[in-house]
Chain A
Amino acid sequence: MDIRRIDENTWEIPAEGGMRVPAVVYASARLLQDMRRDQTLVQARNVACLPGIERRSFVMPDAHQGYGFPIGGVAAFDADEGIISPGGVGYDINCGVRLLRTDYTESDVASKSKTLLAAIFEEVPAGVGKGGVTKLSRSVLREILSRGAEWAVENGYGRKEDLERTEEGGRMADAAPEEISERALERGVPQLGTLGAGNHFLEIQKVEEIRDPAAARAFGIDFPGQVMLMIHCGSRGLGHQVATDHIEIMENAFGVAGLPDRELVAAPFRSKEGQRYYRAMCAAVNYAFANRQMIAHWVRDVFARVLGSARGVDQVYDVCHNVAKVEEHDVGGRSKRLVVHRKGATRSFGPGRAEVPAAYRATGQPVLIPGSMGTASFVLVGTAEAEALSFGSTAHGAGRLMSRHEALRRFRGEKIRDDLARRGIELKSTSWKGVAEEAAEAYKDVDEVVRVSSAVGLGRVVAKLVPLGVMKG
């Protein structure tokens, strides 16, 4: 494959064959080497073939092979002439990350971290096949699909201020619950308010290092040793079913002939099928916002019970990293409406954008990048440059390196637990095999991903967070 180095961390794959635009990869030589081992770059080229693509098919530093689009792929399509593709969002619609800050210090929780984690594990349902604690009627579920985290807050899960500090205010207004199939509703009913499994987790963390004091202050990150809470999960079976349903609808309407990968099936954004998927996707996004809102509420409850108060346990932000959004971006000197697909990529808008909450508009949005199990996570701030570089996007995590099968062969969950315990990190999980699959060694080095993101200008590092306690589904 012809790949040219543009600068230290930028590479270009020129347009050839059916590619309508070149592909651009943001990676160090080391990260690029990882990508070359699987099909990441081939998939980025395939995305460049889709109708209406603007500028470039972008690859974030943590990218790895997905299906159709790579995980860590960003592509934007003209809202009038271009397409929307469920494979460009992923099955876990609005998989995302929520971060809460606290006034507690490491020493406040030191003697109680075991109790805290056990109580959270008790309170937040997790694991495969585990239903939630809420019994939902269909009419309530439809309301959640329309209103997202707004519904949750109105029903006693959390605070109004949380909504102002959630992407989209915790609700995508274009949601159409009537586009959600019976089957997706059935999968959604028992799973609301559950963490799930796989790479989803909940962590009690502490601030290890503050690198940008001004931005940190704006985000409520005040001092090293400060206790933070991170939640990583998505729309569960409901979102997975929405993607499955609409891939089939698009296949049947437009066929799959000529696609380099059948998982790239797409519909013109303006078409009936394109709009149906978009509006169903928005409903699944809302479900995921409500899900994280409820989980955050239960975690606050635990803090109040175990430590005496949840005062100061305030939301920093909540980001989606599997989503398609209609946004205005500059293309060739004029502003254009685009359908921006971020699959395993986080929005990183800089100062001034209307989408950034008022509290952060002068600073830029918080970007939340979780590490792998037991390793550091990072808070970045979005930059104005990122808009020109990647439609305002950056990485979403460490990015997988090793297959689950291989990880299962090499690692033992119980040993990982003991190793973490020796480093003072508590771990709770519903499955030790699941823990082995998520071993830190199966992931890329998140420090390197974040370093490249900063060096390129996709997002600037604000703070480094390290885990004190980990709950894995």
Chain B
Amino acid sequence: MDRYRILPHTADGKFEAFGATLEEAFGNAALAMVSLMWDWSKIQPSVEHLVRVEGSDKEQLLVKFLGEIIYLFETRQFLLGRVRTLRLRPLLDGFGLEAALDGETLSSGHEIYGDIKAVTYHELAIEEGGPGERSRVQVVVDM
């Protein structure tokens, strides 16, 4: 099973990501998103960032999680290469996500070829599979 697939969209970046669990699909969505900016498979796990976000529903949670990766890139020059762990949990009024991200700090050796401005709710879809079924998420990012 592929981790993700980039989908056609006139102006922006659209992709779907898959996983045996929703957690895995969220993690693969992060890799799909950064594949629009850099080649994550070439990034070494030399620095680590821990991410913690909360959302009123799973859609908001996914948007905020991906937004966190953009934020880490712009303010800490962090290039994501791997989602080491990712955990979702229900809260009283929504959902929480904790993830450990591995990657490198941007240097002159990296080629960054795309700029993602923000993660949108447009055509956002989350399909959580039951036991034995795969989960799928779909996201459009503003480029």
Contact = CB atoms under 8 A, between A and B. Distances in A.
Interface of A: 38, 64-68, 71, 90-92, 127-129, 183, 186-187, 190-191, 196-198, 237, 240-241, 243-244, 247-248, 251-252, 256, 261-263, 265, 400-406, 430-434, 437, 473
Contacts of A71: 11
B21 interface: no
Given A91-B117, A403-B9, A405-B13, 14 more contacts: A65-B9, A67-B142, A68-B120, A129-B74, A190-B75, A198-B114, A240-B142, A244-B63, A262-B124, A400-B10, A404-B114, A405-B6, A405-B8, A433-B113
Nearest to B13: A404
B67 interface: yes
Given A67-B121, A406-B8, A198 B115 contact: yes
A434 B143 CA distance: 11
Residue with the greatest number of chain B CB neighbours at <10 A, chosen from A404, A431, A434, A473 = A404
Contacts of A92: 117, 142
Q: Dominant SS at the A interface? A: mixed
Contacts of A431: 111-113
B51 to A, nearest CB: 13
Contact of A64 (B10, B123, B124): B10
A256 B63 CA distance: 15
A432 B9 CA distance: 21
Contacts of B6: 405
B85 interface: no
Residue with the greatest number of chain A CB neighbours at <10 A, chosen from B11, B37, B111, B122 = B11
B112 A67 contact: no
Interface string B94-123: 000000000000100001111101111111
B143 A404 contact: yes
Nearest to A66: B11
Interface in B60-82: 60, 63-64, 67, 70-71, 73-75, 77
26 contacts: A67-B12, A67-B122, A67-B142, A91-B120, A128-B37, A128-B112, A129-B73, A129-B106, A187-B71, A197-B112, A198-B143, A237-B70, A237-B117, A241-B118, A244-B119, A248-B60, A262-B122, A263-B122, A403-B11, A404-B11, A404-B12, A405-B8, A405-B9, A406-B8, A433-B113, A434-B115
Contact of B60 (A127, A128, A198, A251): A251
B89 to A, nearest CB: 20
Contact of B122 (A128, A190, A261, A402): A261
Nearest to A34: B10
B59 interface: yes
Which 7 pairs from chain A and chain B are nearest by CB?
A67-B122, A433-B113, A262-B121, A197-B115, A128-B112, A91-B118, A67-B120
